[in-house]
């Protein structure tokens, strides 16, 4: 069989081997091999005798190369080439009708097995059931590529649970998420394409359940949930129409979310955009978010071993928030949140602006927060800092302090300009746990109804603050110690 190869075919295969393997061979050794093995080009008639060894080795070299569907991308000399795994080469159709789960997962698995690389989605619509990412993998969505979730509940539930069981309250699942990942390192989702959660089927029953029980969240899949990852990047892509939350980094470290667009209808229940959960060193920047629930919700529902604060060192900059419930911390804060910086963000038509919320039984320490250079237009409340959720009572009495009593302190809000379609906002602590050390500096709020309520708080400072309220006084102060109130510009 070896001798049946033509001279031209053998030369072609030799060139292919060189292209595939050259980046992995040091230049000195390559020169030595070339000099020793191919010191002079044989005449075509000499291949039969001198090429037997080459004819035997070429197929072996090719067989020992990349998995089917994978190619090496160029890399710096001396480094292992980055490999690209095109999902179409693994059998994905991308026609919007064929369920491509098996092909997509095979590409991801092969990428993980070979030490990492890029899993590429060319233009097309790739219908898929839940998939799982692998370490050192970059998922790239080309322009015109959409990774679209199936919307059949049985694709996300254990075989022993039906969707009807969930709707009737007999079970909460558990649900798989659409894009999953656990205990990973160096994972990225990037490109100019789209991930679509096909959420429409899920939203109507979720809204019905919420109307029956206010505040209730019907169990459903999230679009992307990555748990226990060190080094997570999500850049450039559009995420849209999640059944529930869009992007949840859970117990992750060193997270970058940049230039991401996240979209869902204004009335789509519980469609939070980004929920950093018990995560550290998170940066969210240059994102456009227009959804049906929290634009960003920082959550810390439990303590993490060896960490005083489960959620810390977060930076949010240069983001635009359209419809949604604002930039939130909570309601789960029992694991603690500290060191948040928010700069140069704009809000247009959100239900809330700055929002920090947690009730007794879910609370913890929330401290060292800085908000700077913020603009808000037509929000329903510019500043909401409250130790009650979901409702704030008119009066209350002190209760025993526990490990899950909310404690909010050291909050700075500078250079904020806002117009509110309702009240200016609230800063309200508990009788047993006052909100403390809040500084408002260069703040201007124009409210269509009432002013800024400050209750059960201490160490509140007003520096060059102007609140214009259409109804009642600009500041409503009760059981609170406020400095600079006499110098505040109070207009009606």
Question: Which value, in Å, is the radius of gyration of the alpha carbons in the chain?
Answer: 29
Structure tokens at 141: 């969505």
Alpha carbons 428 and 240: distance in angstroms, whole number = 35
E strand or H helix at 274: none
User: For residues 446 and 469, what is the distance between their CA atoms, to the nearest angstrom?
Assistant: 6
Neighbours of 312 (CB within 10 A): 21
Contact 58, 10 (CB under 8 A): yes
- Residues acting as catalytic residues: 293, 325
The DSSP result for 155-197, as a single string, is GTS-TT--HHHHHTTS---PPPPSEEEES-EEEEEEES-EEE-
Of 310, 328, 313, which Cα lies nearest the Cα of 254? 313
392 φ, ψ (degrees, to nearest 5): -100, 120
Closest among 194, 155, 200, 160 to 178, alpha carbons compared = 155
3-state secondary structure of 14: helix
- The closest of 318, 322, 391 to 360, measured between CA atoms, is 391
d(CA 82, CA 21): 12
Side-chain-side CA neighbours of 463 within 13 Å: the count stands at 12
How many whole angstroms separate alpha carbon 330 and alpha carbon 361?
A: 12
3-state secondary structure of 149: strand
Q: How far is CA 257 from CA 186, 192, 229, in A?
A: 14, 14, 14
Asked whether 311 and 278 are in contact (CB, 8 A), the reply is: yes
First and final CA of the chain: distance in angstroms?
94
Q: Are 404 and 364 in contact (CB under 8 A)?
A: yes
* Structure tokens that stand for 192 in this block: 């100019």
Order of strands, sheet of 179-182, starting from the edge strand that comes earlier in the sequence: 131-132, 179-182, 224-227, 247-250
- 199-202 contacts: CB < 8 A, separation 24 or more? 199/151, 199/241, 199/242, 199/243, 199/244, 199/264, 199/268, 199/271, 200/151, 200/241, 201/151, 201/243, 202/151, 202/243, 202/244
Q: Distance between CA 325 and CA 380 in Å, rounded?
A: 9
Give the separation between CA 255 and CA 368, rounded to whole angstroms.
Answer: 20
């Amino acid at each position: 069989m070896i001798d049946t190869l033509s001279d031209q075919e053998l030369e072609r295969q030799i060139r292919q081997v060189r292209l595939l393997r050259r980046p992995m061979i040091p230049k000195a050794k390559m020169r030595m091999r070339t000099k020793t093995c191919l010191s002079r080009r044989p005449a075509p008639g000499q291949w039969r005798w001198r090429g037997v060894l080459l004819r035997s080795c070429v197929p072996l070299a090719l067989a020992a190369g990349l998995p089917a569907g994978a190619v090496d991308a160029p890399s710096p000399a001396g480094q292992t080439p980055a490999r690209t795994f095109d999902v179409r080469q693994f059998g994905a159709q991308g026609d919007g009708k064929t369920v491509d789960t098996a092909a997509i997962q095979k590409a991801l698995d092969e990428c993980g097995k070979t030490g990492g690389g890029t899993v590429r989605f060319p233009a097309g619509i790739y219908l898929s059931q839940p998939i799982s990412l692998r370490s050192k993998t970059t998922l790239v969505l080309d322009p015109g590529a959409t990774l679209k979730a199936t919307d059949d509940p049985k694709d996300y539930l254990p075989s022993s649970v039906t969707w009807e069981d969930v709707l009737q309250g007999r079970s909460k699942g558990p649900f798989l998420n659409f894009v999953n990942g656990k205990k990973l390192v160096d994972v990225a989702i990037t490109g100019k394409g789209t991930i679509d959660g096909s959420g429409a089927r899920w939203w109507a029953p979720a809204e019905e359940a919420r109307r029956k029980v206010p505040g209730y969240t019907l169990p459903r899949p999230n679009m992307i949930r990555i748990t226990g990852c060190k080094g997570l990047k999500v850049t450039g892509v559009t995420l849209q129409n999640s059944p529930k939350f869009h992007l949840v980094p859970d117990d992750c470290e060193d997270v970058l979310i940049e230039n991401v667009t996240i979209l869902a209808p204004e009335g789509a229940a519980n469609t939070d955009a980004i929920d950093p959960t018990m995560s550290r060193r998170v940066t969210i920047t240059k994102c456009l978010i227009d959804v049906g629930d929290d634009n960003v919700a920082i959550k810390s529902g439990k303590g993490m071993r060896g960490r005083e604060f489960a959620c810390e060192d977060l930076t949010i900059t240069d983001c635009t928030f359209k419809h949604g419930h604002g930039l939130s911390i909570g309601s789960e804060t029992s694991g603690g949140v500290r060191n948040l910086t928010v700069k140069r963000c704009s809000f247009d038509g959100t239900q809330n602006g700055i929002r920090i919320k947690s009730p007794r039984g879910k609370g913890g320490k929330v401290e060292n927060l800085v908000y700077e250079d913020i603009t808000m237009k037509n929000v329903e409340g510019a500043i909401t800092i409250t130790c009650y959720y979901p409702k704030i009572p008119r009066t209350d009495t002190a209760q025993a302090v526990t490990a899950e009593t909310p404690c909010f302190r050291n909050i700075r809000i500078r250079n904020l300009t806002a117009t509110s379609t309702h009240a200016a906002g609230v800063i309200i602590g508990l009788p047993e746990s006052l909100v403390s050390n809040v500084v408002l500096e260069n703040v201007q709020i124009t409210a269509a109804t009432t002013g800024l309520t400050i209750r059960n708080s201490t160490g509140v400072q007003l520096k060059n603050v102007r609140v214009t309220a259409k109804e009642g006084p600009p500041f409503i102060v009760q059981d609170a110690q406020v400095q600079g109130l006499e110098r505040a510009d109070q207009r009606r």
